[in-house]
Amino acid sequence: MLDYELEEDKLGMQAIPGSVTLQKDTQNLIGISIGGGAPLCPCLYIVQVFDNTPAAKEGTLESGDEIVGVSGKSVKGKTKVEVARQIQAVKGEVTINYNKLKADPKQGKTLDIVLKKIKHKFVENMSSSTADALGLSRAILCNDGLVKKLQDLERTAGMYHGLAEHTKKMMRACYDLSQTHKEIWRNMVSGT
């Protein structure tokens, strides 16, 4: 058994192992981009399968698939650059060993939702350079930043609304007090 076949905790998702052999193109490429990897991420995964490439034409590999080996050699503990070089070192045909992660739809979770939740949790407090190193979408970080900015703006709007309401009450209280003083003054002047 190769070490990439060892069972790991997949956060309650089922990992379905597989392998696909791809004939490389004239530029010695298969047409995928890789994310994750050492030292910041324990796994490597396919970020994108590019159109009109060997991987896209063959159709097995998809974004989100975990890469566990290249031509039978484990990629565990490697960086995405090392794995890309490992793929490039193989001439002609290369075999990609992968895990497809599946979630149980009966539990109300689809793989997409589960992965997005994991990704959001993962990048929530991460710098953009770290996210880039992991191959995570910067759009997620931008969206999270926009969501946080919107929440800040909503809190600020709520604060100003509260201040406006408080100011109205204070002005009403000052007016009422001035009317009371006015009546007291009238009573004192008129001698009643």
Beta bridge partners of 99: 17, 66
pLDDT in tens, 60-90: 998 888 899 999 899 998 988 899 899 999 8
Measured CA to CA, the distance from residue 20 to residue 32 in angstroms comes to 13
Measured CA to CA, the distance from residue 24 to residue 83 in angstroms comes to 15
**42: region left, alpha or beta (phi > 0 left; psi from -120 to 50 alpha):** alpha
**List of residues 6+ apart from 32 with CB closer than 8 A:** 46, 47, 48, 49, 50, 53, 55, 61
Tell me the longest C-alpha to C-alpha distance in the chain. Answer: 111
Confidence at residue 123, expressed as pLDDT on a 0 to 100 scale: 59
> For residues 77 and 69, is the Cβ–Cβ distance under 8 A?
no
Q: How far apart are the first and last CA of the chain?
A: 105
Confidence at residue 18, expressed as pLDDT on a 0 to 100 scale: 92
The token pair at 21 is 């052999």
Strand boundaries in the chain, DSSP class E: 14-23, 32-36, 44-49, 66-70, 73-74, 93-102
Tokens 């566990």 sit at which residue?
68
Confidence at residue 9, expressed as pLDDT on a 0 to 100 scale: 47
Q: Report mean pLDDT in 10-residue bins for the chain, 192 residues.
A: 47 78 90 84 84 92 89 90 90 92 58 58 62 54 52 84 92 93 89 66
Confidence at residue 115, expressed as pLDDT on a 0 to 100 scale: 61
